[in-house]
Amino acid sequence: MKYTEAPNQATAYLREALPLMVRNNIPPNPLNYALWYTYVSKKVPALNAALDSTLNTYGTCPNLLSEQLFQDHLAENDANGSGNEVLTGLLKLTSLLQDQAGEVAGNTDSYSQQLRKSFEALQETRTNPESGLPLESIIQDLATNTQAINESTQRFQKRIDEAQKEIEQLRQELTKTRQDARMDVLTGLYNRRVFDTELAQLIDLELPAGFSLVLVDVDHFKQFNDTYGHLMGDKVLQYVGRILKEKCAEPLIPVRFGGEEFAVLMPGTNLDGSQKLAEELRKRIEAIRIRQKSSGTVISSITASFGVATFHSDDSAQSLIQRADDALYQAKQQGRNQVRLQSSPATKT
* Exposure b/e, 51-85, CB count within 10 A at least 16 = b: beebeeeeebbeeeebeebbeebbbeeeeeeeeee
**Confidence at 128, pLDDT banded by 50, 70, 90:** low
CB 263 within 8 A of CB 257: yes
Which is more confidently placed, 157 or 310? 310
CB 13 within 8 A of CB 5: yes
Catalytic: which of 246, 260, 261, 279?
260
Q: Can you tell me the distance from the alpha carbon of 344 to that of 330, in angstroms, rounded to the nearest whole number?
A: 15
Helix, coil or strand: residue 191: coil
**pLDDT tens-digit readout, 75-88:** 644 444 333 333 34
CB atoms within 10 A of CB 16: 15
Domain boundaries, the chain: 7-78, 89-182, 192-347
Q: Can you tell me the distance from the alpha carbon of 105 to that of 125, in angstroms, rounded to the nearest whole number?
A: 30
**Confidence at 212, pLDDT banded by 50, 70, 90:** very high
> Over 60: is that where the pLDDT of 93 sits?
no
What's the pTM? 0.55
Least confident span in 108-117, 184-193, 289-298, 310-319: 108-117
- Whether 260 is a known active-site residue: answer yes
**pLDDT tens-digit readout, 8-27:** 787 788 888 888 888 888 88
Q: Can you name the residues that pair with 28 across neighbouring β-strands? A: none
pLDDT of residue 339: 98
β-strands 211-218, 339-342 pairing: unpaired
> Over 80: is that where the pLDDT of 277 sits?
yes
Give the DSSP letter string of 216-237: EEETTHHHHHHHH-HHHHHHHH
Q: Can you tell me the distance from the alpha carbon of 159 to that of 153, in angstroms, rounded to the nearest whole number?
A: 10
CB 212 within 8 A of CB 220: no
What stretch of H or E contains 18?
helix 7-23
What sign does the dihedral 72-73-76-78 (CA atoms) show?
A: negative
Average pLDDT over residues 272-300: 90
CB 68 within 8 A of CB 50: no
CATH number of the domain located at residue range(s) 192-347 in this protein? 3.30.70.270
**pLDDT tens-digit readout, 171-187:** 677 667 667 778 899 99
First to last CA, the chain: 59
Q: Can you tell me the distance from the alpha carbon of 262 to that of 94, in angstroms, rounded to the nearest whole number?
A: 45
Q: How far is CA 50 from CA 58, 61, 76, in A?
A: 12, 10, 15
Q: What are phi and psi of 118, to 5 degrees?
A: -65, -40
Please report, as a single letter, which amino acid is at residue 193: R
